């Protein structure tokens, strides 16, 4: 059985208030994305890594790898217009069957345990989507008003989202839709049931400047998500 990880790196620096795309920002003395690839490389699964990146950033990434002596094996693939197209490009580079995890490049604190768990669950039941329950109260905005929502009926979705390759290939034969917010939504639209597994609150996504500080603390103290 072959195992793969498609790391999707198409983010920008807008909400980070930075001219540099967030996957390239420094986190504990090396770019965020290097921590992410390292997490998969050092996991029990040790999947083949495919990095999907905007073609204009390919040379920049190669230069960073030289600068930081980053030699973890990975295949570099050209990104697409939307995340959907980037994942599909990554899928097209895989020629064999197996299990594949799709992960955000800017979730660098993902734990080896969560990676292993999603692969094992997907191998057994077709897919595994990590989630956590919201700890805050949640309200829905509608017509200049808001309404409380029962948070016990909600979950927050994380990555890695891991799938049987046959299932994911079938799903990505669909045309792009704006309702596709993640890989689970693509697979669900193709008629496959979605299997949720317990995620981890420390598996944060680097979105705002303060997220870098938290990720730095978690990595320095070996507290993975």
For 150-189, the pLDDT digits (tens) are 999 999 999 999 999 999 999 999 999 999 999 999 999 9
Please give the C-alpha separations between residue 61 and each of 12, 21, 51, in angstroms, as whole numbers: 15, 11, 10
- Mean pLDDT is lowest, of 16-25, 60-69, 81-90, 165-174, for 16-25
Residue 208 has pLDDT above 70, yes or no: yes
DSSP strand pairing (161-164 vs 98-104): antiparallel
**% of the chain beyond a pLDDT of 70:** 96
User: What is the pLDDT confidence band of residue 13, given thresholds at 50, 70 and 90?
Assistant: very low
pLDDT at 188 (0 to 100): 98
Q: Grade residue 14 by pLDDT with cuts at 50, 70 and 90.
A: low
- Residue closest to 7 by CA, chosen among 70, 67, 65, 93: 93
pLDDT-wise least confident of 9-13, 95-99, 202-206: 9-13
Range with lowest mean pLDDT among 38-47, 198-207, 216-225: 216-225
For residues 114 and 104, the answer to whether their CB atoms sit within 8 Å is: no
Closest CA to 106 of 180, 203, 196, 221: 203
Averaged pLDDT for residues 2-31:
83
Q: How far apart are CA 68 and CA 65, in angstroms?
A: 5
Distance between CA 76 and CA 61 in Å, rounded? 10
- Look at the domain 2-220 and name its fold: Spore Coat Polysaccharide Biosynthesis Protein SpsA; Chain A (3.90.550)
């Amino acid at each position: 059985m072959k195992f793969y990880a498609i790391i999707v790196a198409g983010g920008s620096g807008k909400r980070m208030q930075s001219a540099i795309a967030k996957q390239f920002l420094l986190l504990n003395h090396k770019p965020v994305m290097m921590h992410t690839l390292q997490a998969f490389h050092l996991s029990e699964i040790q999947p083949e890594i495919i990095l999907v990146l905007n073609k204009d950033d390919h040379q920049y990434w190669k230069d960073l790898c030289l600068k930081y002596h980053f030699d973890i094996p990975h295949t570099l693939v050209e990104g697409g217009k939307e995340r959907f197209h980037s994942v599909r490009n990554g899928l097209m580079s895989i020629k064999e069957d197996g299990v594949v995890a799709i992960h955000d490049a800017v979730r660098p604190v993902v734990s080896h345990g969560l990676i292993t768990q999603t692969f094992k669950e997907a191998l057994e039941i077709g897919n595994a989507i990590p989630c956590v329950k919201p700890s805050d109260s949640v309200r829905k905005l509608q017509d200049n008003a808001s309404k409380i929502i029962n948070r016990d009926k909600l979950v927050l979705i994380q990555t890695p989202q891991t799938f049987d390759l046959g299932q994911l290939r079938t799903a990505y034969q669909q045309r792009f839709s704006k309702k596709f917010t993640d890989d689970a939504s693509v697979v669900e639209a193709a008629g496959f049931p979605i299997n949720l597994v317990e995620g981890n609150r420390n598996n944060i996504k680097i979105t705002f400047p303060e997220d870098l500080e938290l990720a730095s603390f978690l990595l320095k103290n070996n507290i993975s998500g």
